[in-house]
Amino acid sequence: MIFLYIGLPLIVAALLPLIGRASKKLLPDVLGNGVFLFLLVYGLTGAKSLISAGPVVQSLDWFGETTALKVAVDGFSLFMLAVIALVSLCVGLYSIDYMNHYGSKANYYALLLLMVAGMNGLVLVTDLFQVYLFLEVAAVASYALVAFGLEHDELEAAFKYLMLSVIASAAILVSIAVLFGMTGSLGFAAVAEGLRALNAPGVVAICAALFLLGFGLKAALIPFHAWLPDAHPSAPAPISAMLSGLLIKVSGVYAMTRIFFHVFGLTPALSQVLMWLGAVSIVLAALLAVGQKDMKRMLAYSSISQVGYVVLGIGIGTPLGIAGGLFHLLNHAVAKSLLFLTSGSVQQATGTRNLEEMGGLAKRMPVTAATSLIGSLSISGVPPLGGFWSKLLIIIALVQSREGLLAVIAVLASVMTLWYYLIMQRQAFFGKLNERWAAVKEAPFWMAAATVILALICLGLGIVFSTVITTWIQPAADGLAKGMGI
Amino acid sequence: MILQIGLLIGLVLSSVLAILAKDLIKAAIALAAGSLLLGIVFFRMGAPYAGVFEISVVAGLITVLFILTIALTKAEGEVAESKAALWAFPVFFVLFIAIDALVMKGLMNKIPALPATAETGVFGDVLWKQRTFDLVGQLAVILSGVFAVLALFRKRDKDE
Amino acid sequence: MNSTWLLYMFFSLALIGTGIYALLAMKNLIKLFIGIEIVGKGVSLALLATGYAKANILLAQSLVVTFIVVEVCLVATALALIINVTRHTKSLDVRSLTKLRG
């Protein structure tokens, strides 16, 4: 019942305000996290066996009558569903404590569930217009979540994010209209077939460019990144984690990848464009991250940079490259959400995000410092953590495809990433304890627990990376390479 | 066809007016007029449902929300638009229209298309049976919008 | 594709371009919202015109109806944000929203 991935969060979200009247904090916490836990467990166990024979299409039967609610699952979608469920569970657990002083928890969990339902829907549909529709579902929920604290910064960031997203939506829809006009259908397979029959590379290039504009905006690739460095720092920490860890990847990278691979087919020209866009993002965002004083802003630029790695990996087009890109997607989702959550713990304890005001927090907040260090090392590509393996795969794939320059860029940028993360760690956690923070306490239980879980997963991904790759990444990459055949 | 072109020109002009108008209420009326014209265009294309939706929702509901917002933010005073932006607009507009027309002319007969298959059924069937998933998406986005507005307008409790 | 479709797309792109200009150049928050609206009109025209050209008018209508519903939710959220912003900055000027740089 893959449809539960969309239906369950939707129904629980709809019921939450009623439940919220009865119980302001406990029941929303339990229900929200319960849904995430269920989706994660289901994804890891039951759903996995579904696709062992290949991609699967499921229709929802409504009282014996088959409806048109078809969802399609292949290795790639299932991989994304698992990543979404994992990160949203940890974010949900973290929110139990963090969102206490924002008020209206039922509303918060409802929006969070709707955002997850939208992302799950995006991953499961096979129709161009529905990709847009669920993208908007997640987006509308995210605007409200970014502005949830109702402070000036949050509202400003949410508004700018909204405006740029409108441009993205327009680009995507115009492209869909042109594709519909050419092929007369909206489903992935039908459009792909139609485009093959028509053979019109010029118009396809225009549509691809429009999709690149639209989804690139959502993924915050440079030069479409302007909204992210404002939105992610201002939003409440768990929402920054959701946005950086999931939303930019699902509504940006996944949508782009799915459409480019299954509808257009990855031509050499498209491959080059993707690789260089990725490379530009990696380098420019890393440079911009170096001078940042605001902890979350540095993390935001780092997100842009790492998404560049994912796009670079996927753009290579070879199985190894795609596997590297997808593995990096997983690593970054886990590590970046971990880092945003720890930054939220720091912000809650000290009241500031300014790195220059912090110092020596490791003495008072050991758990937060340790988990943050693990996350930083993973993203920077330090063995044996997960990020090292994914970056290695991408670099090997680049060398194999004779893209020496890009490989060098990837390696150098990785070194730069390590540098600014070490600066951040030193300024915030290590070194002399700033007297102002002599009395701060470690983060509350659920916040710390969530970060510990994510840190353990970072370690786990690094240690058992080969198992992870064979059971999760390989089917995903195969799913991309083969097409859904529906 | 001539009437369609006329209506569409009217639509573009009223949109331009909505941007350039100094008084926000006049802008709202221009926007609503544009939606009305678009609804009529839809009707004449043989799309009555889209036309009805456009007129009742965009020209009606959104205009009401719009005027509500103007009323709620009325005390905030005038905002002088930068002269540069307002003067640049006609230039930009003419340029954009020219490029638009040239591109369209260039694309004439260049965009291949598969032959259209005939459509069967009625609108209700298409919406409910063929595009059922869209309805799920609509439900989700409506819930998102409702909760977004509730979240943004909530009263801050004392324990914050 | 036939010239009728191109004619409609001409107008649709004109609207979208005008809307995006408004989004990027206007300073009054409410004018920015007007820009969003105009972009929406352009997009629904594009969708419907494509359906018209393919004689798939019913499918196009369902797409446009769904799109309008999405637009309403977007508008409601945007207006809620605008009202909240004015409560903070006491002004409708987007220039007052420059605390954060891109």
Which chains have 3+ CB pairs within 8 A of C?
A: A, B
Q: pLDDT tens digits, residue range A79-110? A: 888 899 999 999 999 988 888 888 788 889 99
A66: helix, strand or coil: strand
From chain C, the residues in CB contact with A136 under 8 A are 70, 73-74
Domain regions of chain B by residue span: 1-77, 121-160
A69: helix, strand or coil: strand
Per the structure, the complete domain to which residue A299 belongs is given by 4-482
Q: Are A108 and A146 in contact (CB under 8 A)?
A: no
pLDDT at B36: 94
The tokens of C37 are what? 């609206």
- From chain C residues 25-84, the ones with a CB under 8 A of any chain B CB are 25-31, 33-35, 37-38, 40-41, 44-45, 48-49, 51-66, 68-77, 79-84
Best interface-test mutation with B: which of C3, C5, C66, C98 has the largest number of B CBs within 10 A? Answer: C66
pLDDT at A140: 94
**Residue with structure tokens 């997963």?**
A457
Q: pLDDT tens digits, residue range B14-44? A: 999 998 888 888 999 999 999 999 999 999 9
From chain A, the residues in CB contact with C101 under 8 A are 230
User: Cβ A198–B113 below 8 Å, yes or no?
Assistant: yes
Q: pLDDT tens digits, residue range C40-94? A: 999 999 999 998 888 888 889 999 999 999 999 999 999 999 988 888 877 767 7
d(CA A119, CA A367): 31
The tokens of A215 are what? 């989804």
Q: pLDDT tens digits, residue range B51-105? A: 999 999 999 999 999 999 888 887 666 666 667 777 788 888 888 888 888 888 8
Which chain C residue has the Cα nearest residue A181?
C50
- End-to-end Cα separation, chain A, in angstroms: 18
The tokens of C23 are what? 């989004």
CATH fold of B1-77 reads Four Helix Bundle (Hemerythrin (Met), subunit A) (1.20.120)
From chain C, the residues in CB contact with B69 under 8 A are 30, 33, 79, 82-83
Which chains have 3+ CB pairs within 8 A of A?
A: B, C
Where would I find the H helices in C26-56?
29-53
From chain C, the residues in CB contact with A154 under 8 A are none
Residue A486: CB atoms within 10 A of its CB come to 15
Which chains have 3+ CB pairs within 8 A of B?
A: A, C
Number of domains in chain A: 1
User: Cβ A10–B132 below 8 Å, yes or no?
Assistant: no
From chain B, the residues in CB contact with A125 under 8 A are 133
Q: pLDDT tens digits, residue range B110-139? A: 777 777 777 777 888 777 878 888 888 999
What are the φ and ψ backbone dihedral angles of A150, each rounded to 5 degrees?
A: 60, 25
User: Cβ C77–B121 below 8 Å, yes or no?
Assistant: no
Q: Which domains does chain C have, with CATH numbers?
A: 3-95 (1.10.287.3510)
Q: How confident is the model at residue A113 (pLDDT cuts 50, 70, 90)?
A: very high
Alpha-carbon distances, residue C44 vs A277, B17, B138, C67 (angstroms): 30, 20, 16, 7
Q: How confident is the model at residue C101 (pLDDT cuts 50, 70, 90)?
A: low
ipTM of the complex: 0.93
d(CA A150, CA C98): 16
Residue A466: CB atoms within 10 A of its CB come to 9
User: If phi over 0 gives left and psi between -120 and 50 gives alpha, with beta otherwise, what is residue A153?
Assistant: alpha
Alpha-carbon distances, residue A77 vs A120, A186, A192, B133 (angstroms): 9, 19, 19, 17
pLDDT at B33: 94
Is any Cβ of chain B less than 8 angstroms from the Cβ of A6?
yes
Best interface-test mutation with A: which of C6, C70, C87 has the largest number of A CBs within 10 A? Answer: C70
The tokens of A483 are what? 């097409």
- End-to-end Cα separation, chain C, in angstroms: 41
Q: Is the pLDDT of residue A486 over 60?
A: no
User: Cβ C73–B141 below 8 Å, yes or no?
Assistant: yes
DSSP for A205-260 reads HHHHHHHHHHHHHHHT-TTS-TTHHHHHHHS-HHHHHHIIIIIIIIIIIIHHHHHI
DSSP for A20-33 reads HHH-SSHHHHHHHH
The tokens of B112 are what? 């291949």
Q: Distance from C79 to chain A by nearest Cα, in Å?
A: 10
Q: Write down the pTM of the prediction.
A: 0.92
Mean pLDDT in chain A?
Answer: 85
From chain B, the residues in CB contact with C6 under 8 A are 104, 107-108
Nearest to C50 among A147, A177, A233 (CB): A177
DSSP for A81-112 reads HHHHHHHHHHHHHHHHHHGGGT--HHHHHHHH
From chain C, the residues in CB contact with B15 under 8 A are 15, 18-19, 38, 41
Q: pLDDT tens digits, residue range A2-43? A: 788 888 889 888 888 888 777 777 878 888 888 888 888 888
Q: How confident is the model at residue A347 (pLDDT cuts 50, 70, 90)?
A: confident
* Residue of A364 and B134 predicted with greater confidence: B134
d(CA A340, CA A321): 27
pLDDT at B56: 93
pLDDT at A484: 44
Is any Cβ of chain A less than 8 angstroms from the Cβ of B136?
yes
Q: How confident is the model at residue B158 (pLDDT cuts 50, 70, 90)?
A: very low
Burial call A81-111: b when 16+ CB within 10 Å, e when fewer: bbbbbbbbbbbbbbbbbbbeebbbbbbbbbb
Nearest to B144 among A68, A101, A140 (CB): A140
Q: pLDDT tens digits, residue range A166-207? A: 999 999 999 999 999 888 888 888 888 888 887 777 888 889
d(CA A267, CA A260): 9
B82: helix, strand or coil: coil
